[in-house]
A and B are shown apart, each in its own frame.
Chain A
Amino acid sequence: MKHLKRNMRGALFILLGLFLLLTVYFYYNLFLYSDRWFSDPSNARVRVDMVNPKIIPGSIMDRNQKVLVDTKSTAKNGNTVTYYRDYHKDSKYAAHVIGSGQYGIGAEVLYIRYLLGYDNNLFERIYQKAFLDQEQGNNVILTIDIQLQKFIVEAMGKQKGSVVLMRPQTGEILAMVSQPSFNLSSTYEEPAEESLLNKASHGQYSPGSIMKVVTAAAALESMDEIQEYTVECRGVTEFDGVVITCSGGEAHGEVNLSRAMEVSCNAYFAKLSQEMGWKELKRTAEAFGFNKDFVFSDIKTTKSRLPVSRQTDAEELAWSGVGQGKILVSPLHMAMIASTIANGGIMTEPRLIYGIESRSGRIRLQNSNELASPISTETAQALTNMMIDVVENGTGKKARTTGLLIAGKTGTAEVGPEDNPHAWFIGFAPAEEPTLAIAVILENAGTGGNKAAPLAGKILREAVKSGY
């Protein structure tokens, strides 16, 4: 009898624990993902009907409130009014950001909650139903500047790749370009599969040497005497049975951390990542958001991967520190890393919604959220100094611009013996007081220093000229 009561109590606690777990799981998931689930393209509840719609969807504007998409009516035929989404001609410069319901991508899908006014409070919704002939959704004001988008798209020309330009302090994305793109206003051309992919957020690239920024950050955070730590680079350097070649077989001699960063010495960073071990590299990288599912309220993005663990062999680890292993990153994530360094070590959530304009014209500004602080302010400052050197004297020289101090890092990601490498550049400007952070990738374009750096310099100069 005794054990019966005791066991019953035990069973009760087990089952109650399960119920508690269920409740927590239920609410936690809904809290995190309910907006995404709601805006999923297969949610038939929010499909926009265009004939006699209950709610007219709001328009999408850029940060200067230039209308990119709005709803227009075609003709009144008896009691039927047909509407259509009218894409402004400049919308093609931000096709991936604006997106369309037809393809199930972009703001048109992700921000349907706002566009259809589901975020309105009870009084507004009742007012609209009671006193308006036609209910209206809210207008979404994006953080992007369509003029900058246009500039970047034109500067890239036919080159495939992606550019992300953001503000480090607030996380606002000023420009997010993915090439090849497609034309939203033309319904006749069927866009190719590749052009529908937003490479900025969903592209998966090998980072190449821009990863060295993360390796250096890990070393600065974990090793006490990092400034004294040097490696003898012979162009083709061998240690512990691992052979590391530097770009073009160039021997850099005895290099310390800042010199290695400046000349992008593979041998140094390979040795460094072995010196500190996989744990430290992984810890800092994960603090930067590697191997983590980002759940941003405005943007969907893929996970960046750094697959190092206890099982990783010496060669793999060495190449991981150089950025040439099995690492995969998205350009958006690289821009976030650049902006973290620019922002004194604090990572902000990237945002695409500047504000929501309601029917009355009142604009509700969205807040910026701090995501994490992966590195200390001192580490960020040290990295900034090194990255300034890269642009002033090192591999990123071609990004140099008169009157604007840029900090950056170039990357050249080998993709195979046959193809040209991907050209990378991440950086921020002005280096003294950064207001802009950038990530550029040009697919199969050549070296980062020759191809990506000049473009990044050009874009940063234009952005500063536009007042950002």
Chain B
Amino acid sequence: MNDKQYEILALTLRYWFVLLIIYVFAKSAARTLQDLFSEKPVNRSTGNIPFVLVLFTLTSFGLLAMQDSQNFNIDTVLMGLLVSAIVLFQFYLLYYLFPGMDEILLLMVNTLAILGFVMLQRLTPELALRQVEWFTAGSVILFVVMLIMPRFKSLGKMIYPLMALGAVTLFLVAFFGEESGGATSRLPVGSILVQPMELVKVIFILALANTLSEEKTFREKIPLFLFVAACILGIVLQKDLGSALHYFIVFLFVYQISTNDWLITMAAAGAGALASIIGYKIFSHVRVRVEAWKNPWADIGGKGWQVAQSLIAMGSGGLVGLGLGLGSPNIIPASRTDFIFAAICEEFGILVGGMVIGFFALILIRSMHKATLAQFSNDMLLACGSSVSLAVQAFIIIGGVVKMIPLTGVTLPFISYGGSSMVASFALLGLIQSVCIRNYRFAREMEGHESNHDEYNEDDMDEEAKENES
């Protein structure tokens, strides 16, 4: 196959890829609307999405295998088969093991992950395999969380050692971490570099949900405040401002939702705004980011380079993209991690880019819906905190890439290259899924007792749940 034949194929297949993603998106959106507005639980049909995802994976990896005009790259095809097999296995295993699981949520996450695999295979083939390994690790974590979490109503006192561990780790990283890209956020463990700031997110959500699920006095909430402050301070010391912002916003949301305490929320938000103004005044790298955001074209060779190249890549793509393998996403800086959204827009087009944003919105809607269906406030906060965390993270990075807000480097959940991010995102998904499972089990119990009782009150429900756990 020569270059021109590859180009023809890639040009034509653009439409195929867009169609497949549109199909997945439309199906997911339709199912989400159904779930939102129907009283009865909808059947567990997957709407052929797994099949479509496999088609997408096989065609895109098959196309990439032919990119080199000299030889057909069999490894790439094998990679496509591997990805399909893992995704199918992961999905159907969980699907049959956990009847209460939200299957559409998992399928949307898998879609995002597959987009990431294809992009990584196209950018740096060696990293794609690593990413698949991380995906597998993430799926195992997901499985474990889904297995264990529904058994506990809450973590109780167990949370305090976890909180201490999280905060201490973040400080340790700030002082002993390895530097990369201006931030010292990585800790070498064995042969890999772990980003504890990603993993502590899970503890962060657990701690918030655990502490705030019951009404507490200010004094009782002090450990939580200390923990939150320590986390954010630790991350600021790591010079990772995007993640600090992320933690802070998640805290604000969950705190306001659970306590309805506008006073402290607003005070905290004001303090945060003040801190960012001071940060702008003191730190030159913050000012550089803001200037690059205001007008990246003013200093295109220097400060504005990253954002300008990202915009150029997206502008080059057009609706359906330049075609897989026909663009030059390697020009974009950090195209594997922070700017992978721009790379996707360049080669798959801005329609797919818009749908990536849409998938994150759907993930948020579904999880929030599941949160409102939960019986216990702890469950509600777990599902809602996790989904807010994923959504805010996606917003911070996509907003930065499209120049809506100043760029701060955080990963795009499930898509960007990175083990810690992948595992942490899957753990958060696991929390959401375990809430779904608990909801389901609870509904089943209700049905079982329908014939014996006419009325239920909350105390009964609690007792039911306790029985269930023991």
Contact = CB atoms under 8 A, between A and B. Distances in A.
A11 B314 contact: no
B129 interface: no
B354 A26 contact: yes
A12 B371 CA distance: 11
Given A30-B314, A35-B315, A8 B365 contact: no
B316 A27 contact: no
B391 A8 contact: no
Contacts of B458: 1
A42 B307 CA distance: 12
Interface in B311-368: 311-312, 314-316, 318, 322, 327-328, 331, 350, 353-354, 357-358, 360-361, 364-365, 368
Most buried by B among A7, A12, A42, A122: A12
Interface string B365-385: 100100110000100110010
B4 interface: yes
A3 B258 CA distance: 8
Contact of A12 (B328, B365, B395, B402): B365
Interface in A1-57: 1, 3-5, 7-12, 15-16, 18-19, 21-23, 25-27, 29-30, 33-38, 40, 42-46
Contact of A130 (B8, B368, B398, B399): B8
Contacts of A27: 350, 354
B258 A4 contact: yes
B364 A40 contact: no
A25 B368 CA distance: 25
Q: Give the one of A3, A8, A16, A18 with max B CB within 10 A.
A: A8
Contacts of A129: 4, 7-8, 11
B327 A7 contact: no
A40 B312 contact: yes
Given A19-B360, A33-B315, A130-B4, A40 B257 contact: no
A11 to B, nearest CB: 5
A7 B256 contact: yes
Contact of B358 (A11, A23, A36, A44): A23
B403 A29 contact: yes
A11 B4 contact: no
Given A4-B377, A8-B368, A126-B12, A42 B398 contact: no
A125 interface: yes
Contact of B391 (A5, A19, A33): A19
Nearest to A37: B315
B361 A19 contact: yes
B308 interface: yes
Contacts of A130: 4, 8
Indicate the size class of the contact surface on chain A: 35 or more
Contacts of B388: 11, 15
Contacts of A43: 312, 316
Given A4-B257, A7-B257, A8-B380, A26 B353 contact: yes
Interface in B1-19: 4, 7-8, 11-12
B366 to A, nearest CB: 11
Contacts of A36: 315
Contacts of B311: 29, 33, 37
B360 A42 contact: no
A8 B300 contact: no
B305 to A, nearest CB: 8
A1 B384 contact: no
B309 A42 contact: yes
Contact of B316 (A4, A22, A37): A37
B92 interface: no
Contacts of B297: 40
B364 A45 contact: no
Given A44-B331, A45-B327, A11 B402 contact: no
A21 to B, nearest CB: 8
B180 interface: no
Given A7-B257, A34-B315, A22 B380 contact: no
B398 A22 contact: yes
A22 B327 CA distance: 24
B236 interface: no
Contacts of A11: 253, 256-257, 368, 384, 388
Contacts of B127: none
B397 to A, nearest CB: 11
B404 interface: yes
B371 A8 contact: yes
Nearest to B395: A18
Nearest to A21: B404
B252 to A, nearest CB: 10
- Listed from nearest, the 5 A-B pairs whose CB atoms lie closest are A37-B315, A34-B315, A7-B257, A19-B361, A129-B4
Interface of B: 4, 7-8, 11-12, 253, 256-258, 260, 297, 300-301, 308-309, 311-312, 314-316, 318, 322, 327-328, 331, 350, 353-354, 357-358, 360-361, 364-365, 368, 371-372, 377, 380-381, 384, 388, 391-392, 395, 398-399, 402-404, 458
27 contacts: A3-B260, A4-B257, A4-B381, A7-B256, A7-B258, A7-B260, A11-B253, A11-B256, A11-B368, A12-B364, A12-B365, A15-B395, A18-B395, A19-B360, A19-B361, A22-B395, A22-B399, A26-B398, A26-B402, A33-B315, A37-B311, A40-B312, A42-B308, A46-B316, A126-B8, A129-B7, A129-B11
Interface of A: 1, 3-5, 7-12, 15-16, 18-19, 21-23, 25-27, 29-30, 33-38, 40, 42-46, 122, 125-126, 129-130
Given A5-B372, A33-B315, 9 more contacts: A12-B364, A12-B368, A19-B391, A26-B350, A34-B315, A37-B314, A38-B312, A40-B300, A43-B316
